[in-house]
Homo-oligomer: A and B are copies of this chain.
């Protein structure tokens, strides 16, 4: 393994070179950061060049990167640099207290509780841990630990220094974190509310919008605002526009006005316009929020004696061409631009009782595989941008997966099993919105049953081998539907992957339901429409190889737009609108000279210089 810190500066004149933030080594506690070197790069030969301004700490490096600093998404409260998590009976408080000097990369200070990915991945961790480790918590107050500000939103200098792929991935992740908060409010009896004292701008207000109740201090300096359009020439990137009109039902003309003023709205008008739910005197904010939180907590379904399980640090090994977890191995093939996920099914049947699961804790296979898949998805999204196709394989005994699925179905009302199901749901949703081509390969020895079958159903294409390989004594591949395929894990558009696949054909779904538990071989799976192609062993290698090579040769942008369009046929929800309509517009704007050109608003923000805009409307 080649490990080298990036020390040379690359030439900005070299046309293929692209801007990237340089991620530092870990500083004391906080995010673990390692270095990792992908293999041969297409354009690296000329990358040796003059010194850049060191204060910017920006490196121009090739798009396939000789050197690369890895982002690690694993953290825990003892390592948080930016959040304080405290508990008072059924109420937890998540107080934002961003360490100005704790940015994930050099070149910007996280002033005024502005955030970067490092801040948000702690939030994401906290939201997830609260569900598993603190089931006694029924209401979570999101607030600021700083006196004079709630949150200034995503750090603008950080955005200005970031590459386009990083910006897009950053926004996607922060969106997923906010969706997870809403999922907790809706499905986990952990109600999120916000208490705002001090200015709450941009991403700060979008964070508040992801909670279901917004309380705000009524004073001269506290307000909510979405100043992105006016100040930065971009959109609020974390669902703000959609949540304004679709969640809070703010009238569209008021939303228009609100989104074009820098100074925001405060006090009574904020309530009248439904931008917040309540204003209280500043001096009473903390107390009023606690009181309100207890009210929300009192309305929650009781599960008073639930004890949580802990989520220990996920074990994994990272090598140059392999990423290895307990039940998941990912082989990285940079030549073919693929990452091949091999999931190991459980070795034994499900435990008998929920108490047994409590004892197993994070080792319970469905929970373990959810955690490993989630970490792998995030790792690959951020740290392996050039691996353009993710391939899913599995190995193991389908009967063991089936046993676990039966257990998850039978105990869905238990809080812990509910949380595991929700975690699986959220993880699979991350897959649907990942801008990677997804292929599933179903061959002898695989165990694509129920929950694992969702990986195939989430894929853009599925290849299933007909028969066995010549000389192989294995049983031909089969797939198996379980109860888990029929509602436990909907996509962000509200449909299950089967519903999405068979839109407008309810009779197909009825037929499939009648086959729950039956092993379906390639020819039946094909007939039922569950797989795309079913080559035999003679054609298999060539057909799969060609499909993968072909995929690697396409424009990755066209694939992103195509996949985002084909994966989400049918209805839209707030979530799907955020990932589609809003994110696509934001991605477009993030490319436009008006935002990121030399004289663009995002580029010039904070310099005192005025942006210059192309006067044409597009």
Contacts and interface: CB of A to CB of B under 8 A. Distances in A.
A566 B245 contact: yes
A616 B165 contact: yes
Interface stretch (A125-133, A466-474, A575-583): A575-583
A537 interface: no
Contacts of A618: 164-165, 168-169, 385, 435, 556-557, 560, 587
Best-buried of A501, A564, A613, A614 by chain B (most CB within 10 Å): A614
A509 interface: no
A571 interface: yes
Contact of A504 (B16, B241, B249, B611): B249
Copy total for this chain? 2
Nearest to A232: B558
B564 A249 contact: no
Contacts of A563: 256
Interface residues of A, number: 98
A72 interface: no
B249 A616 contact: no
A507 interface: no
A564 B588 contact: no
Interface in A524-550: 529, 531-532, 550
Interface in A554-608: 554-572, 577, 580-582, 584-589, 591-592, 594-595, 598, 600-601
Contacts of A314: none
Given A557-B595, A587-B588, A589-B557, A562 B614 contact: no
A211 interface: no
Given A168-B618, A503-B249, A591 B594 contact: no
Contacts of A562: 229, 235, 241, 256, 259-260
Contacts of A241: 562, 565-566
A140 to B, nearest CB: 25
A421 interface: no
Contact of A589 (B242, B246, B561): B561
Nearest to A563: B256
A461 B616 contact: no
A251 interface: yes
Interface in A1-33: 15-16, 18
A560 B617 CA distance: 8
A244 interface: yes
A558 B595 contact: yes
A271 to B, nearest CB: 15
21 contacts: A15-B598, A42-B615, A164-B618, A165-B618, A168-B618, A233-B555, A241-B565, A253-B462, A253-B532, A256-B461, A256-B562, A256-B566, A260-B551, A386-B617, A435-B618, A555-B600, A556-B616, A564-B581, A580-B581, A584-B584, A588-B588
Given A229-B559, A233-B557, 16 more contacts: A18-B614, A18-B616, A168-B618, A228-B558, A241-B566, A245-B565, A253-B460, A256-B461, A256-B563, A257-B532, A260-B554, A385-B615, A386-B615, A388-B617, A557-B592, A560-B585
